[in-house]
Amino acid sequence: MAQLYFRYSTMNAGKSTEILKIAHNYEEQNKHALLFTPALDDRFGRGKITSRMGFQRDAAIIGKDTDMLRLAEEAKPDCVLVDEGQFLSRGQVVVLTRIVDRLNIPVIVYGLKNDYRNHLFPGSEALLLFADKVEEVKAVCWYCTKKATMLLKYKDGQPVGEGPQIEIGGNDKYVSVCRKCYGQRLEIK
């Protein structure tokens, strides 16, 4: 029986690498994985899932009008893989549940749970509510050896805790940290 999985972590935990690995494993068994990535994430080009290790694949772009259910019906994949799930809308997450429930296709979504202000992203909130299985992908704090659970945003070399929820960036803007290191660098509100 197919299920909707939400696998979350902070940055630098290998989420995109995991998606690329799963897609490769399906293909090695002569199976097909349908990959999606939100249009919003254009760090490495639109419609690309790219790991920091340099691996990259094309993926269908999820825009506000993308009919993911129709694409899945037409492609008949053995699995649907979604990167950057935090950027999905609640409605798009509901469509993913339909792919699971109507088409009996497993859907695995990877993404961030919380932003640098420690608020849930709308897509992450919906995934936490609708996913059959929620799994944490572990990451290590940038400053110590504890498990990273938060993001720390830097602007002009200084940690910041206010601003727009979404500002696309990598290690140039964000680092993954544990709660203690977050609190030492930025007062928790």
Instruction: Indicate which residues carry an active-site annotation.
Output: 84
**Residue 147 DSSP one-character state:** B
Answer for the pair 107, 100: CB distance below 8 angstroms, yes or no: yes
Give every CB contact of residue 18 below 8 A, 6+ residues apart in sequence. Answer: 7, 110, 137
CA distance 26 to 181: 39
Q: Among 6, 10, 35, which Cα is nearest to 143's?
A: 10
**Residue 86 DSSP one-character state:** G
Answer for the pair 159, 111: CB distance below 8 angstroms, yes or no: no
